Amino acid sequence: MSDTVEALREPTQRVGRGYLTIIALANLGTMIAFFTPIQNLLPRLADEVTGGSGKEAALAWITGVGAFVSVVANPLAGAFSDRTTSRFGRRRPWVFWGAVLGLVSVALLPTQTTVLGLALLWGCGQATVNASYAAITASIPDQVPVNQRGVASGVVGLAQTLGVVLGVAIVSFLVTGLEAGAAVTGVLFLLLALPFVLRLRDPVLPVQARPPFVLGEFVRGFWVSPRRYPDFAWAWITRFLISLSNAMATLYLLFFLQDEVGYANPEQGQTILIGLYALGTILTAVVGGRLSDASGRRKVYVIASSLVMAVATVILALAPVFSAAMVAAFVLGAGYGVYLAVDQALITQVLPAAQDRARDLGVINIANSAPQVLGPVLAAPIVTSLGGYPMLYLAAAVVAVLSGVLVTRIRSVP
């Protein structure tokens, strides 16, 4: 089999534990780099640079800038990754350099003393982390056959959730200083990416197989026509909605514990909730993916998991006490574990073209990143002026239900 065919073919050979371990570690490191700043370091830094006054708006600006950069960087890096003809493969160079530069960006966050400085540096961090993530994500349709993608996506979802828990736990309990915590976060990102870079087999795309670069065609390629590819469009919309619901529910979690619940140690309380969330994910992600693979059905699992996530946010809205928040965190994790595994597998089955896998997955990842911009825009006024945290979590529930309903519009995947 030629390199050209191998690099672009639809995979049929089942992957083993070695591949699943490598892809899990890479995703673990990426999620540590993504969410440890968002969930812990940036709220603390926003509080520090504002003196506690206007911290909610400051955090919205900082994370909003980062999310906007993600919207651009992820599909752009994916598109260039698709065209990369390095002797090391299409994906590995992007993973390596994204991790190296991501380490630097995250580690330098505590050196900033203004909201603008934090926003700009976090934007750089999001650009580099997304460059790595786009290449990692493309590895599944590159190398995993369709009937194994539920399990592979479940392993990825499990690793991603553990990344959130591990990162926040480290900076909350073990390395509590901002400078040291940021440095450890960046170093873990690089170390966990190295097995992907050093051990993964990444078929080379020969130069002669790369299409000529025409700027107009390259730019137009980021628009995937909903008329030509309706299932891809509905997959994008439903992922956007569930990501928006999740962003609305989790972005202000630290402030929810501090200001609404009145928890004595909100940072450690946040870690407990994330741990319960992770437990729910651990119990459902791989199992949900395996059941979906065995049945050959995706949509019923995605719909059910969306509704479970809505139930969790209703609990937060109606019972703003820590014991209820613990139940809600577990339920949310259980729903999201199944969702991550099965929806990601579904998405890989509606990608338009093999030669553009990373770019098209980057377009899908806009649906993950854009809500990080829109979420604060919607959440901040709700929390401050339109009903507070109960109304915020009820709105998140409505959005999750809508996502589940619209999944039924996808026709080509059962």
Give the residue-averaged pLDDT of 82-101: 95
Give the residue-averaged pLDDT of 379-397: 92
Give the residue-averaged pLDDT of 375-400: 91
The yes-or-no verdict on residue 5 having pLDDT over 60 is: no
Percent of the chain residues topping a pLDDT of 90: 65
Burial class (CB in 10 A: 0-12, 13-18, 19+), 21: middle
Query: Which pLDDT does position 2 carry in this prediction?
Result: 45
In a domain, 1, yes or no: no
Residue of higher predicted confidence among 115 and 253: 115
Residue of higher predicted confidence among 174 and 354: 174
Give the residue-averaged pLDDT of 104-116: 96
Residue of higher predicted confidence among 212 and 137: 137
Please, are residues 391 and 374 in contact by the beta-carbon 8 Å criterion? Answer: no
How much is the mean pLDDT over the chain?
Answer: 90
Query: Which pLDDT does position 60 carry in this prediction?
Result: 83
In a domain, 414, yes or no: no
Going by C-alpha positions, the residue among 123, 126, 104 that lies closest to residue 185 is 104
Neighbours of 111 (CB within 10 A): 12
d(CA 46, CA 61): 10
In a domain, 208, yes or no: no
Number of domains forming the structure of the chain: 1
d(CA 204, CA 90): 6
In a domain, 8, yes or no: no
In a domain, 2, yes or no: no
What phi, psi does 112 have (nearest 5°)?
-85, 145
Query: Which pLDDT does position 3 carry in this prediction?
Result: 45
Please, are residues 10 and 354 in contact by the beta-carbon 8 Å criterion? Answer: yes
Domain hosting 225: range is 14-203+213-409
The yes-or-no verdict on residue 259 having pLDDT over 80 is: yes
Burial class (CB in 10 A: 0-12, 13-18, 19+), 327: middle
The yes-or-no verdict on residue 332 having pLDDT over 90 is: yes
The yes-or-no verdict on residue 329 having pLDDT over 80 is: yes
Tokens 């592979």: give the residue: 152
Could you give the count of Cα atoms lying within 13 Å of 189 in the half-sphere of its Cβ? Answer: 37
Query: Which pLDDT does position 164 carry in this prediction?
Result: 80
The yes-or-no verdict on residue 36 having pLDDT over 70 is: yes
Residue 364, domain CATH = 1.20.1250.20
Residue of higher predicted confidence among 56 and 307: 307
The yes-or-no verdict on residue 120 having pLDDT over 50 is: yes
Instruction: Please spell the DSSP secondary structure of 50-79, one letter per residue.
Output: HTTTTHHHHHHHHHHHHHHHHHHHHHHHHH
Percent of the chain residues topping a pLDDT of 70: 98
Give the residue-averaged pLDDT of 304-314: 97
In a domain, 9, yes or no: no
What is the tens place of the pLDDT at every residue in 185-244?
Answer: 999 999 999 999 999 989 898 888 887 777 787 788 888 889 999 999 999 999 999 999
In a domain, 7, yes or no: no
The yes-or-no verdict on residue 4 having pLDDT over 50 is: no
Please, are residues 33 and 125 in contact by the beta-carbon 8 Å criterion? Answer: yes
Give the residue-averaged pLDDT of 354-375: 84
Residues ≥6 apart with Cβ < 8 Å to 89: 201, 202, 203, 204
